């Protein structure tokens, strides 16, 4: 990325975001988008408490858009809709950024990334205190692209697996986020090689998923289309 880009942190309750663009107008659009959609989601949850607590798919509501997107992705991934909340907020924020006419729109929300850019974007893979955390990442050159990571070791999000990282690549972050949960839940047991391969196959079987990378017990497995891996210094 060039030095002319603006990078700004924006936190709102559980949403801890990094926003990147060449345009201050786009950055402000992203903030407003996250505020608005969080508020609409909170209202929906207040009226529909099951949406917050269920760990299985529920029928998508017609509105608000953020809840509809979450529930649709969760149905594909066979998880509860809250598994896709960070990705959905990122997706809508990037859409709102692009509507301002900006060339670069990147939103990272709690580790889930949505990016649409006319230039390469480098991102680091964070896995808490694991040895590989922030030691390598990806150079994104084909857009739009989303990256979501689930971890049974460091993430605040609920996972029933033990992977250091289950990273999903897709065209939208809502789906990537939900599928990262599904894949991450599967990675457990003594046989790391089998656990990794089974989880990769499950991830790639879901329509819309482009690539899967799993780190488990020091082993790394990949499947599908993965962006260029780069060393982070």
Q: What is the pTM of this model?
A: 0.92
For residue 66, what pLDDT is reported? 98
Q: Are 229 and 136 in contact (CB under 8 A)?
A: yes
DSSP character at residue 197: H
Give residue-wise pLDDT tens across range 36-57: 999 999 999 999 999 999 999 9
The gap between the terminal CA atoms of the chain, to the nearest Å, is 15
Please name which of 207, 205, 170, 210 lies closest in space to residue 88, comparing C-alpha atoms: 170
Burial 21-34 (b: 16+ CB within 10 A, else e): bbbeebbbbbbebb
If you average pLDDT over every residue of the chain, what do you get? 92
Q: Indicate if the pLDDT at residue 3 is higher than 70.
A: no
Task: Compute the Cα dihedral for 165, 171, 176, 179 and give only its sign.
Answer: negative
For residue 160, what pLDDT is reported? 67
For residue 136, what pLDDT is reported? 82
Give residue-wise pLDDT tens across range 207-228: 999 999 999 998 999 999 999 9
Q: 26 pLDDT band (50/70/90 cuts)?
A: very high
**Pick from 74-78, 81-85, 153-157: least confident:** 153-157
**Distance separating alpha carbons of residues 182 and 176, to the nearest angstrom:** 10
**Distance separating alpha carbons of residues 34 and 37, to the nearest angstrom:** 5
């Amino acid at each position: 990325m060039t030095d002319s880009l603006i990078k700004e942190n924006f936190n709102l309750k559980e949403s801890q975001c990094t926003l990147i663009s060449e345009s201050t107008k786009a950055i402000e659009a992203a903030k407003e988008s996250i505020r608005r959609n969080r508020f609409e989601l909170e209202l929906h949850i207040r009226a529909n408490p099951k949406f917050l607590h269920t760990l299985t798919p529920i029928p998508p509501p017609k509105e608000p858009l953020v809840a509809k997107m979450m529930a649709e992705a969760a149905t594909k991934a066979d998880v509860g809709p809250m598994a896709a909340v960070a990705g959905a907020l990122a997706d809508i924020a990037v859409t709102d950024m692009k509507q301002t006419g900006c060339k670069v729109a990147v939103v990272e929300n709690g580790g889930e990334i949505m990016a649409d850019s006319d230039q390469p974007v480098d991102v680091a893979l964070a896995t808490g205190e694991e040895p590989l955390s922030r030691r390598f990442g990806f150079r994104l050159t084909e857009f739009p692209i989303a990256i979501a990571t689930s971890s049974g070791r460091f993430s605040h999000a609920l996972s029933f697996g033990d992977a250091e990282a289950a990273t999903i690549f897709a065209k939208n972050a809502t789906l990537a986020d939900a599928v990262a949960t599904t894949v991450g839940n599967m990675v457990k047991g003594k046989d790391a090689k089998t656990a990794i391969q089974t989880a990769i196959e499950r991830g790639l079987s879901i329509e819309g998923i482009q690539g899967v990378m799993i780190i488990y017990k020091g082993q790394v497995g990949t499947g599908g289309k993965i962006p260029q891996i780069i060393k982070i210094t």
